[in-house]
Amino acid sequence: MGELKVIGAWSSPFAIRPRIALTLKSIDYEYIEENLRAKSDLLLKSNPVHKKVPVLLHGDRPICESLLILQYIDEQWSPGPSILPSDPYDRAIARFWAAYIDDKLSPAMLGMKAESEEAKAEAMEKMKMEFELMEKVFKDLSRGGGFFGGEEIGYVDIALGSFLAGVRVFESFSGVKLLDEEKTPGLVGWAQRFCAHEAVRDVMPKSEKLLEFAKKAFFNQPADK
């Protein structure tokens, strides 16, 4: 069907998702870094509706939206580790929580861009509540394993784990621990295992670089020179 490419941006939590999935499946691909301030013709042609990353190019066929890309990768390259559970009920539950993460957690993180301190504090409280909820979800889905997917990284792991570098940045600015040993001990251990995994560590944004980026993009502070 042709070569495989991923159009992404290093700072985007959504754009690292397909890269993690492809690495889990031991699939070779070409990564194309996109300049989101001057979007390329390739991106605009590949995703003319939303004009966003990531885009998976399988030959001349583009697949857009990170969660849909994960499903495509899992179905297209079924040999090897599964990303989604094999049981239909478990698959539905995994899809529900991955969609929940994007519907609730992502907007709460974007709320940190608010200008007023009151709005930022409200966004942080929402984020704390979401992570406390995900602590309960982790206990249910992991069934005693180290990941939401059980013994191996799965769909929900990739969906939530892609935000972890950003979480560290927000914690450093706010002084509030979203992953707390007392309130979210399961997630603390999970986050360490996820970030150390060989499929994740090379594509996860470095905290220092993301911190400099966030100073401008989220907190209107000058980046360090």
pLDDT band at residue 1, thresholds of 50, 70 and 90? low
Question: Residues 159-185: what's their mean pLDDT?
Answer: 90
User: Residue 54, preceding bond cis, omega within 30 degrees?
Assistant: yes
pLDDT band at residue 95, thresholds of 50, 70 and 90? very high
Q: Which two tokens stand for residue 51?
A: 């004009």
- Amino acid, single-letter form, for residue 195: C
pLDDT band at residue 114, thresholds of 50, 70 and 90? low
Contact predicate 96/82, CB 8 Å? no
Residue 222, pLDDT above cutoff 50: no
Domains in the chain: ranges and CATH: 4-76 (3.40.30.10), 88-217 (1.20.1050.10)
Contact predicate 168/206, CB 8 Å? no
Q: State how beta strands 30-33 and 4-8 pair.
A: parallel
pLDDT given for residue 130 in this prediction = 92
Sheet strands (E) in the chain? 4-8, 30-33, 55-58, 61-64
pTM, full prediction? 0.92
Q: Which two tokens stand for residue 89?
A: 């009920």
Residue 14, pLDDT above cutoff 90: yes
Q: For residue range 47-58, list pLDDT tens digits in order.
A: 999 999 999 999
d(CA 6, CA 80): 20
Contact predicate 24/83, CB 8 Å? yes
d(CA 97, CA 11): 23
pLDDT given for residue 112 in this prediction = 65
